[in-house]
A = this chain, B = another copy of it.
Amino acid sequence: VTLDFRSDNTHGVSPEILEALARAGHGTMKSYGGDAVTERLRQRCAAIFEHEVSIFPVVTGTAGNALTIGAMAKPWGAVFCHDEAHVHRDELGAPELFSGGAKMIPIAGANGKLEAEALARAIDNIGLHFGRTSCVSLTQATEAGTVYTPDELRALCDVAHAHECRVHLDGARFANAAAHLGVAPAELTWRAGVDALVLGATKNGALAAEVIIAFDPTLEEELAPRWHRSGHRMSKMRFLSAQLEAYLTDDLWLRNARHANAMAQRLAAGVGNVIQPVEANVVFARLPREIAGYIYYDWTIFGPDAVRLVTAFDTREEDVDAFLAAVRQVK
């Protein structure tokens, strides 16, 4: 029994991804991304998203998000985001570092979601003509475990573009959102107005792999030097690209996400006192006190007795059920 609902990043690795790594080790290959695996990955991303893309694989979401925001925002620009956004709260100023000091403007919103009207108000409130110096950063699925619909995304992107802001999508749990909605990835990205997605794999079965997927072709010249200069352009890139290629092969990304989502639903159904809609693989609930033998995080931002429970691609039904049994004992 896995006793751990702390985060999807405490879990291990999908066998398909480990096998891909082993395969990628054969022979020599051009370094720094000039290899065949990386080129295949680019083509696969283009096919899945139905759009020409430039790609920049990195090892962490912090890197992917901050590099993309840095490419979109001038040092004197602003970055509008939800006030619970990981890029604002948990990265010690990574977007500030990679943008040369752009200002984060956190905006409140229910269920972890930005609303179009609140976004418009926040941009107007800054009261300066920023020109094309600023961006909006969205998170899909959100930090609250909720999911933006394509219409919600489009409304936010429309506000952003009307104010000359580009749109960055933090997709650490994009697979969970896509699996939940069951719509084409294009509907959740460029067709809604997203200019660049950071697609996460680490939380969903990879060792360490995220990829910046830029739909706006003007971003490449800003991203390429920042990627290299920040130490995020791996020399043996094939080992990063191989993880992502396997992730995007035979729907592994969606299969893993569907499973994690299903486990979250099972958990939510049993645990009760759920305090946010459960649409991805994260459950927020009020629990009486710590459940013996299990670990997870308190989430006091949602109240003194709130906790966060995260499921993963390899969470088993019996893990969930054992936890639910333990909860019932306490109640």
Contact = CB atoms under 8 A, between A and B. Distances in A.
Interface of A: 2-4, 6-7, 9-13, 18, 21-22, 24-31, 58-64, 66-67, 74-76, 88-89, 91-94, 96-97, 99-104, 125-128, 131, 133, 202-203, 207-208, 221, 225-226, 228-236, 239-240, 301
Contact of A28 (B12, B63, B301): B12
Contact of A230 (B24, B31, B94, B234): B94
A76 B236 contact: no
A230 B229 contact: no
15 contacts: A2-B28, A6-B28, A6-B31, A10-B28, A10-B31, A18-B22, A60-B232, A75-B93, A76-B228, A89-B126, A93-B102, A207-B236, A208-B236, A208-B239, A208-B240
Contacts of A4: 28
Nearest to A10: B28
Nearest to A18: B22
Nearest to A222: B74
Given A100-B100, A208-B235, A239-B207, A26 B7 contact: no
Chain B CB within 10 A, most for which of A11, A96, A101: A101
Given A92-B225, A96-B102, A60 B233 contact: yes
Contact of A234 (B2, B13, B59, B74): B59
A234 to B, nearest CB: 5
Contacts of A64: 231
Contacts of A26: 12
Contacts of A67: 231
A91 B230 CA distance: 8
Contacts of A202: 235-236
Contacts of A233: 60, 62
A30 B10 contact: yes
A96 B89 contact: no
The interface centre, meaning the residue of A31, A92, A203, A239 with most chain B CB atoms within 10 A of its CB, is A92
Nearest to A3: B28
Contacts of A24: 12
A318 B230 CA distance: 38
Q: Which of A91, A208, A240 has the most CB of B within 10 A?
A: A208
Contact of A97 (B7, B101, B301): B101
Given A207-B21, A233-B60, A235-B208, A96 B92 contact: no
Contacts of A101: 93, 96-97, 99-101
A76 B229 CA distance: 7
A107 B66 CA distance: 24
